[in-house]
Amino acid sequence: MKNILPLFKFTLFKLTLLSFALLNTNLAIATPDTPAVNKNSYDKVLNTYIDEGGPGVAVIVSQHGKVLYKSARGMANIEHNVPLTTDSVFRLGSITKQFTAAAIMILAEQGKLSLNDDIHLYVPDFPTEGQVVTIENLLTHTSGIANYTENEHIWNNLLTTPTTLDEMLIEFAKHPMPLKTGEAMRYSNTGYVLLGKIIEVASKEQYADFIEQHIFKKLGMNNSQYGGKQIIANRANGYSMSEQGIVNAGSVNMMWPHAAGSLLSSVDDLNIWFTALRNGKLISKASYQKMITPFALNDKTFSDYGYGLGMFDVNKYKAIGHGGGIHGFVTNAFYLPEEDLYVAVLYNNDSGRARDIAQLLAARALAINIPEFDEITLTDDKIKSMMGSYIINDDSQRTLSFEQNKIYAQRDDGRKWQIKSMSDNSFYYLGTLSYFTIDKNAKDQQVMSFYNGLSIKPDSAIKEK
């Protein structure tokens, strides 16, 4: 939940009942503008990542208003041998944020609030340390307000406990602001919970009711709802990986994610959703344009985030989208405007590779070359010469380490990923599309060129002396 991809911080699996799983799961349709892609080409992506007897995915690829591919692999419930289908309902995690942002735009169009409103009009007691924080600052993660999921006390002790929205805001108010408002884009789930409260004050409706009535019901999203203890048809169980293997995911009281991550949906509903959003059927096209416009920071540079949606590259294409992670689930969905292509992947394993699967499905649809990696063996001395910390920017670094004959890469205090050498100066991440090279520049500094996913332009980092 620290960046535009996950909601909660978290640290791959084949279905034997294939004939049953294929019911309502596989479609491959070519549009007049798109060369036909063999369904097997898409299937290969899922078969590579998913064990049919474990957690899995539901996916959809659509273009020009038609579904190119829709499928599911793996189990909705391993214990009861229930397979996933494309009607399965998953927790969305931070994909929720785009629904929250759209709800704000609905209220703005109704004249019930302004994006420039000081949040104290709606949450008068929430501290902002003398700074003016607007609704737009919350939408764009530029408020400077702390992110509650980075607080160890909340994370370790409170997430499973019953609470109310107001009680949560009292707890969040205890945390100092790490940044000045507008200084930088810094992901804050707290900001989106505050937006949930603002929606309730401005609309005089509960957040869950507002989303149900003004978005889900209006668009016919019949498999979507606010999460809780209620019985939900076709709900997928959530799983995690542990030293013991696959386990049921830990619990979380869904009030805590609230407007930052408490919604559930299916791939068909997400396709309905984003089609309506971009086509002006829910909010005006002008409002949608605001949602997908990078925000101008105090220093006049621009972030890579709008309102509940991030902007990034998928190979040579500009993409709009978001990912999510929450106990038992990881999700990814994005839209490529240039190709009018939408991809959504919902995974009921919080260690799953939803982002890579989504990018690979897009690559199949658009005939993008996919990198292939082959491991080679390097001497220990050669490996050790490249180990150390590489400075990405003032706030971040990537550290390479060689431990018990295995090579690892770690971004800041995040997860350690095992990497493999594929040449005398390049490495790839196991189970992903990401890789990097290390070369020396004119100053004899070692420079890491990092290719994230299907990117064609690397991010650079210089080795610390």
CATH of the domain at 274: 3.40.710.10
- Reported in sequence order, the residue ranges of 413-458 that DSSP labels E, i.e. its strands, are 416-423, 426-429, 435-440, 446-451
- Helix axis angle, 189-203 to 96-109, nearest 10°: 40
- Tell me if 181 is assigned to some domain: yes
User: Would you call 164 helix, strand, or coil by DSSP?
Assistant: coil
- Which two three-digit tokens encode residue 281? 């059927």
DSSP class of 361: H
Domain final position from 312, 333, 366: 366
- Tell me if 10 is assigned to some domain: no
Single-letter residue type at 120: H
113 and 186 co-located in one domain = yes
**Per-residue model confidence as pLDDT tens for the chain (465 residues):** 433 333 333 332 222 222 222 223 333 333 334 445 678 899 999 999 999 999 999 999 999 999 999 999 999 999 999 999 999 999 999 999 999 999 999 999 999 999 999 999 999 999 999 999 999 999 999 999 999 999 999 999 999 999 999 999 999 999 999 999 999 999 999 999 999 999 999 999 999 999 999 999 999 999 999 999 899 999 999 999 998 899 999 999 999 999 999 999 999 999 999 999 999 999 999 999 999 999 999 999 999 999 999 999 999 999 999 999 999 999 999 999 999 999 999 999 999 999 999 999 999 999 998 888 999 999 999 999 999 999 999 889 999 999 999 999 999 988 899 999 999 999 999 878 899 999 999 999 999 999 988 989 999 999 998
161 and 241 co-located in one domain = no
User: pLDDT tens-digit profile of 378-404?
Assistant: 999 999 999 999 999 988 999 999 999
Greatest CA separation for the chain: 66
- Tell me if 246 is assigned to some domain: yes
Strand partners, 27: 70
- Which two three-digit tokens encode residue 121? 């009009």
CA distance 396 to 164: 35
Range(s) of the domain holding residue 176:
97-203
Domain final position from 332, 366, 400: 366
242 and 177 co-located in one domain = no
CA distance 188 to 140: 9
- Tell me if 282 is assigned to some domain: yes
88 and 129 co-located in one domain = no
234 and 197 co-located in one domain = no
User: pLDDT tens-digit profile of 435-452?
Assistant: 999 999 999 999 999 998
User: pLDDT tens-digit profile of 155-186?
Assistant: 999 999 999 999 999 999 999 999 999 999 99
CATH number at residue 441: 2.40.128
- Tell me if 7 is assigned to some domain: no
444 and 324 co-located in one domain = no
pTM for the full model?
0.87
- Tell me if 71 is assigned to some domain: yes
Domain final position from 344, 366, 388: 366
264 and 406 co-located in one domain = no
199 and 270 co-located in one domain = no
Sorted by sequence, the CB contacts under 8 Å of residue 279 that are 6+ apart come out as: 285
- Tell me if 111 is assigned to some domain: yes
230 and 351 co-located in one domain = yes
How far lies 318's CA from each of 215, 217, 292, 321, 383, in Å?
26, 31, 11, 10, 35
For the chain, how many structural domains are there in total? 3
62 and 193 co-located in one domain = no
84 and 111 co-located in one domain = no
- Tell me if 55 is assigned to some domain: yes
102 and 172 co-located in one domain = yes
